[in-house]
């Protein structure tokens, strides 16, 4: 597979890189960003995945969150995939919350989405092998985090791949997508109207069915304008029971990258603590 480096920017003595490749799984060209901390050629590195939210690309987190300082200080690599398949031949929707930029990180089963929208397989099988090859001394240890739709993706994927990820975290995640408008719209389009098929992609259903889960940290701003309708936590926390879920409500914070930038150091430290165990 040909992987082309498009950009490299020094950031806190590490390298913020951007790559391009053709994805056989998604049947389209894709980009992703990778941060390698200082002295990455000499040190063994663990890897944290970041999944972005609706309408975003890999650039949003790399350019707005300021995560690079914490990643450099903690000597950890960070991979930022795109949020969906891309290109003129990839199906899309007129709405901003479906289609390009809105994959919900699942494997679609319905036309016209099924040919390209196989993001779960892309993120669990194809892209990891590319990323591992770009880290000179990969430790084999990984964690995952994300925001909004990407928070849904991070928790869902972390629960489904719980032997792979040491820890999971999220900012303002969609915790019960089968019960809220964003998730219902996407799941109906990508998976069909049979709601029983939705449950394998719903974090509330997954955590209820899973006995042992990685530690999960969630930060939710209480001034988030999507909170009441799209991001309610009650059913998820009820399903989690006494599992290691740390849910933090932050008064005055909203859905923006200002919130992410405020708490990203705490999240990276949370992951590093688990990765070192």
Q: Give yes or no: 224 in active site.
A: yes
DSSP assignment string, 125-162: IIHHHHHHHHSTTEEEEEEEEEETHHHHHHHHHHHHTT
| Cis omega (within 30 of 0) for bond into 112 | yes
Q: Is 11 in the active site?
A: no
- From the CB of residue 224, how many other CB atoms can be counted at a distance below 10 Å? 19
Name the maximum alpha-carbon separation found in the chain: 51
> What CA–CA distance (Å, rounded) separates 220 from 73?
25
Q: Which residue is it, tokens 């259903």?
A: 205
Show Cβ contacts of residue 48 under 8 Å, excluding neighbours closer than 6 positions: 71, 76, 77, 78, 79, 142, 143, 144, 145, 268, 271
Closest-CA residue to 80 (of 182, 161, 7): 7
C-alpha 140/C-alpha 45 separation (Å) is 8
Given 33, 148, 167, 205, which residue is catalytic? 148
Catalytic site includes residue 147: no
Q: Which entry of 58, 82, 202, 224 is annotated as an active-site residue?
A: 224
Catalytic machinery residues: 148, 224, 255
């Amino acid at each position: 597979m040909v992987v082309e480096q498009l950009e490299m920017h020094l950031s806190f003595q590490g390298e913020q890189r951007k790559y391009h490749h053709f994805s056989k799984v998604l049947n389209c060209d894709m980009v992703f960003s990778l941060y390698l901390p200082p002295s990455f050629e000499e040190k063994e590195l663990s890897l944290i995945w970041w999944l972005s939210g609706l309408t975003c690309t890999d650039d949003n987190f790399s350019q707005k969150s300021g995560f690079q300082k914490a990643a450099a200080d903690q000597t950890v690599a960070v991979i930022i995939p795109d949020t969906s398949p891309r290109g003129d031949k990839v199906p899309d929707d007129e709405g901003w919350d479906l289609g390009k930029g809105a994959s919900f990180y699942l494997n679609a089963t319905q036309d016209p989405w099924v040919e390209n929208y196989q993001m779960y397989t892309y993120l669990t099988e194809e892209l990891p092998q590319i990323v591992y090859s770009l880290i000179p001394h990969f430790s084999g240890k990984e964690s995952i985090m994300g925001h909004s739709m990407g928070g849904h993706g991070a928790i869902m994927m972390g629960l489904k791949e719980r032997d792979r990820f040491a820890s999971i975290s999220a900012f303002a995640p969609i915790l019960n997508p089968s019960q809220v408008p964003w998730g219902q719209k996407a799941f109906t389009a990508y998976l069909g109207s049979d709601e029983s098929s939705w449950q394998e992609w719903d974090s509330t259903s997954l955590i209820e069915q899973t006995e042992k889960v990685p530690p999960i940290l969630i930060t939710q701003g209480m001034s988030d304008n999507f909170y009441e309708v799209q991001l309610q936590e009650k059913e998820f926390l009820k399903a989690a029971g006494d599992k290691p879920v740390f849910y933090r409500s932050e008064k005055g914070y909203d859905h923006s990258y200002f919130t992410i930038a405020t708490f990203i150091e705490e999240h990276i430290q949370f992951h590093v603590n688990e990765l070192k165990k």
